[in-house]
Structure 1
Amino acid sequence: MLSWAITFLIIAIIAAVLGFGGIAGTATGIAKILFLVFLVLFIVSFIIGRRPKL
């Protein structure tokens, strides 16, 4: 998930440098969403993994 977020961020940076504003904005939005999903899943898995085994 994090690798996809980084990929879309790189695409957004390249598109912005080349002057494709719409594509850059869309790729940035996708990268933000993927990064937030990654953070939520990471935190949930961290909390669940820290529970004591019964």
Structure 2
Amino acid sequence: MAGRAGTRASDPNTRIASKLKALYSAIEQEPIPDTFLDLLEKLDRAEQLGKPQS
């Protein structure tokens, strides 16, 4: 965005995009909660049990 002609750092859309990117980056660095990982494991097991045996 900042590289496009006519955009400025003071442009509200540029500031919003920058803040959203920073927020996403911060969330991306957070560890995955153990309870969520446990739920994913249970789902994997349930899917494996539900598959027809060949």
TM-score by length of 2: 0.42
Higher relative contact order (CA 8 A, sep 6+): 1
Greater helix share, structure number = 1
Larger radius of gyration: 2
Q: TM-score, normalised by structure 1?
A: 0.42
